Amino acid sequence: MPDISSKKPYRIGRSRTGLGLFATKTIKKGTKIIRYFGPLLDTRKKKHDEIENKYLFELDDRWTIDGSVRKNIARYINHSCKPNAESDVKPRKRKVFIRAIRNIEVGEEINYDYGTDYFKAYLKPIGCKCQGCERKRAKKRAEARAERLRLKAKAERKAIRLAEKEAAKRLNGKAAHVNGKLVRDSHLNGIVLNGRGRSEVFPRKRAAARPSASGTLPTAAVAVERQAG
């Protein structure tokens, strides 16, 4: 690990993605923190164009900085989708500086956005581990967990309602069977069930007296008629 002067406002330290660069002093917005440097590669030369590593910093269509050298301490600065610094590229001078875009407090990790091409090539396949993306993933996991619990509770409530309906149907079926049996068995005795499920006894209706074939009324009817006379 390269030595860093105590006068520098940063140090190399352990980060969530490996090593990172951390502020040892308050760095004010707009401050040039560190230079990103290394051998210049000319993409017009085949041997330069074939070089491939994660520390290549493209200046323009022709020139690229190979920042893989150990003396390039800026290579330890990690990517962030919501960074506190940015790369200040000066193609004509073929130089790159990392500059603070807001105040960076002591102990805070310094980071900048590596750009869309780098993100798609190296970070997207494994998942970006910057603090912003970690928060997003944690939020999505919490939302997914809450949704699973909601669906589980909904399914349990539905199962309870169905069980209650089935139980009510069985009870109603038993009651209807018992009531029907009572009505059929007691029909000849004049017993029926009222609306409250209780049996009531009603007297049979007597048939009206009819004249006999000879045209005379039955004896009981004649007696009533005589009393009336």
Phi, psi of 8 (to 5 degrees): -75, 145
Contact 40, 67 (CB under 8 A): no
> Could you tell me the two tokens for 135?
């928060």
Contact 21, 73 (CB under 8 A): yes
Express each pLDDT in 89-122 by its tens digit: 998 899 999 999 999 999 999 999 998 888 888 8
Tokens 């164009």 belong to: 49
Q: Which CATH architecture has domain 10-125?
A: Beta Complex (2.170)
Domain residue spans of the chain: 10-125, 130-197
The pTM of this model reads 0.61
Question: Is pLDDT above 80 for 200?
Answer: no
Element (H, E) at 226: helix 219-228
Classify burial at 130, counting beta carbons within 10 Å of its beta carbon; exposed 0-12, middle 13-18, buried 19 or more.
buried
Express each pLDDT in 137-184 by its tens digit: 788 888 899 999 999 999 999 999 999 988 888 888 777 666 655 444
* Cβ neighbours around 190 below 10 Å, total: 13
β 191-193/199-201 pair status:
antiparallel
- From residue 86, give the alpha-carbon distance in Å to each of 23, 74, 173: 15, 12, 77
**Could you tell me the end-to-end alpha-carbon distance of the chain, in angstroms, rounded to an integer?**
140
